């Protein structure tokens, strides 16, 4: 039985299979949110006189029991139910009788799906925020712990100037601050209520949309009923852009780790149990975790483009194309969670080699330090640059690596400004919250 079925019509089995697709698999993830949306809608119907108060109260009580079964993991979609919305309405009607058939009053499946997705994405972005905050805290901790451990800095993959493990890891912590800005922007868009927009053109029932907005703890609502439906796809794409931003940071950090644990670099190392071996080479300790993080994060960065191709050039109103956004976006959310968890696991166990810059091959890393030393003696910069360049060409360049480096400006190896970066993160993350 389908919610939209008529007495004398049915849909061919092949058509039904094609149109339902993988929806049921992803609907389970939205089950709790579908019930929450229904509880808010029914509460409002009872308050506004579109259901008798005792019927609304009975329906809300039964919906809360269904929600409890979902949270306990005892919920499933019956083979005969088309989707999560059908399943919950059928369960409710079976539990309380005809009053269960009234919960769809003033509501379309279009705005029901829209509010479910908004609630799901809002919750997912909160989870992403928490994972990012945890990873950020770990990066700051490791940055502070290794602020004095010097490593080479590179441009064009050529040795450039002295860096430090603290500066390197702190860079990725600050990158997460900017990524959090994307998450915050997506959260603000997801935190608007489309419920009450019906099929996209409102309703002749006197719905109180401000009330359902408050009950669902949205910051505001999507006012225009047409745009409430048009926000589908757009909200998913903005969320995917936030995921892609985080994934870009993770993928780049993973690449650095692959490079820096390579024997030709040898700056960092990890316990044997966190690396993999070779079927033929007994010495191998492969960075498979970082390689898979890098690969998975590249795939996540493709999601915004896939969603853009799906929703581009659609006219206003609802279209079944939107159904596919779930199977594109939902797995990406799970993948990003997994990648952040694995990155935290690896960084918790990172080992750092000391005295790396004592190696003679890093001598020229200090060429700029030598130029600056001459400038401080009163020699014009261009003359100092030429003098040091000639020393390098003639093979006479020398710099005492035991000499203390004097980098004092904000954001340098001697002044990481991690406290300021932490303050920025707190400020951005504070905006990602559900109002009470």
pLDDT at 267: 96
Per-residue pLDDT band for 5 (boundaries 50, 70, 90) equals low
- Given a contact cutoff of 8 angstroms between Cβ atoms, the answer to whether 143 and 257 are in contact is no
Close Cβ partners of 269 (under 8 Å, ≥ 6 residues apart):
261, 350, 351, 353
pLDDT tens, residue by residue, 122-149: 999 999 999 999 999 999 999 999 999 9
Phi/psi region, residue 317 (left: phi>0; alpha: psi -120 to 50; beta: rest), is left
pLDDT (0 to 100) of residue 280: 85
Domain range list for the chain: 13-102, 120-196+223-358+409-429, 360-394
* In CATH, 13-102 is 1.10.275.10: yes
Please give the Cα distance from 128 to 120 (Å, whole number). 12
Find the mean pLDDT for residues 94-116: 92
Tell me what the mean pLDDT of segment 210-235 comes to. 96
Name which CATH class applies to 120-196+223-358+409-429. Answer: mainly alpha
d(CA 221, CA 212): 9
**Using one digit for the tens of pLDDT, what is the confidence trace for 259-294?**
999 999 999 999 999 988 877 887 888 899 999 999
Residues 6 or more apart in contact with residue 3 via CB below 8 angstroms: 82, 85, 86, 89, 104, 109
Number of neighbours of residue 218 by Cβ within 10 angstroms: 23
Contact yes or no for 220/192 (Cβ under 8 A) = yes
**pLDDT number for residue 17:** 65
Q: Are 368 and 407 in contact (CB under 8 A)?
A: no
Neighbours of 356 (CB within 10 A): 16
Pair 166, 414: CB distance under 8 Å: no
- Dist. CA 404–CA 205, nearest whole Å: 76
Q: What is the mean pLDDT of the chain?
A: 92
Separation between Cα atoms, residue 135 and residue 174, nearest integer Å: 11
Q: Per-residue pLDDT for 299 more than 90?
A: yes
- Domain 13-102 matches domain 120-196+223-358+409-429 at the CATH topology level: no
Distances (CA, A) of 148 to 154, 174, 358, 367: 18, 19, 14, 20
Answer whether residue 245 shows pLDDT above 80.
Answer: yes
Q: How far is CA 415 from CA 104, 143, 387, 406, in A?
A: 60, 12, 29, 10
Q: Which residues pair with 415 in a beta bridge?
A: 412
* CB count in 10 Å sphere of residue 340: 21
Please measure the distance between the N-terminal and C-terminal CA atoms of the chain and give it in whole angstroms. Answer: 38
Tens of pLDDT, residues 151-209: 999 999 999 999 999 999 999 999 999 999 999 999 999 999 999 999 999 999 999 99
What is the average pLDDT across 60-65? 96
Q: What does the block give as tokens for 177?
A: 């601050």
Q: How many CA atoms lie within 13 A of 263 on its CB side?
A: 4
């Amino acid at each position: 039985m389908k919610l939209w079925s008529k007495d004398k019509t049915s849909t061919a089995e092949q058509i039904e299979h094609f149109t339902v697709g993988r929806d049921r698999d992803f609907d389970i993830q939205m089950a709790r949110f579908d019930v929450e949306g229904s509880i808010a809608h029914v509460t409002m119907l009872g308050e506004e006189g579109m259901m008798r108060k005792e019927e609304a109260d009975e329906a809300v009580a039964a919906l809360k029991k269904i929600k409890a079964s979902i949270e306990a993991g005892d919920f499933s979609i019956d083979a005969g139910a088309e989707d999560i919305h059908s399943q919950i309405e059928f369960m409710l009607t079976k539990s309380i009788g005809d009053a269960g058939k009234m919960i769809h009053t003033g509501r379309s499946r279009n705005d029901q799906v829209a509010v479910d997705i908004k609630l799901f994405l809002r919750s997912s972005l909160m989870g992403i925020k928490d994972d990012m905050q945890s990873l950020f805290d770990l990066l700051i901790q490791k940055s502070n712990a290794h602020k004095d451990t010097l490593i080479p800095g590179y441009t064009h993959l050529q040795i450039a100037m002295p860096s430090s493990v603290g500066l390197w890891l702190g860079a990725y912590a600050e990158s997460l601050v900017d990524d959090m800005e994307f998450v915050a922007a997506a959260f603000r868009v997801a935190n608007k209520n489309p419920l009450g927009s019906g099929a996209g053109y409102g309703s002749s029932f006197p719905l109180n949309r401000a009330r359902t907005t408050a009950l669902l703890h949205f910051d505001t609502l999507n006012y225009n009923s047409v745009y409430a439906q048009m926000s589908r796809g757009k909200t998913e794409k903005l969320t995917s852009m936030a995921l892609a931003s985080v994934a870009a940071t993770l993928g780049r950090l993973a690449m650095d780790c692959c490079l820096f644990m390579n024997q030709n670099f040898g700056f960092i190392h990890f316990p044997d149990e966190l690396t993999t071996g070779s079927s033929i080479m007994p010495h191998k300790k492969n960075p498979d975790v970082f390689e898979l993080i890098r690969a998975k994060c590249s795939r996540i960065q493709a999601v915004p483009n896939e969603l853009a191709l799906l929703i581009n050039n659609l006219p206003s109103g609802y279209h079944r194309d939107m159904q596919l956004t779930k199977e594109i976006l939902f797995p990406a959310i799970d993948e990003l969670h997994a990648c952040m968890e694995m990155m935290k696991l690896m960084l918790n166990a990172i080992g750092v080699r000391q005295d790396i810059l004592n190696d003679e091959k890093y001598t020229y890393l200090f060429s700029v330090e030598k130029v600056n030393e001459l400038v401080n003696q009163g020699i014009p910069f261009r003359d100092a640059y030429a003098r040091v360049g000639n020393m390098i060409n003639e093979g006479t360049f020398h710099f005492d690596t035991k000499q203390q480096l004097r980098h004092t400006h904000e954001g340098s190896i001697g002044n990481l400004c991690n406290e300021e970066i932490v303050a920025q993160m707190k400020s951005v993350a504070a905006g990602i919250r559900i109002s009470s």
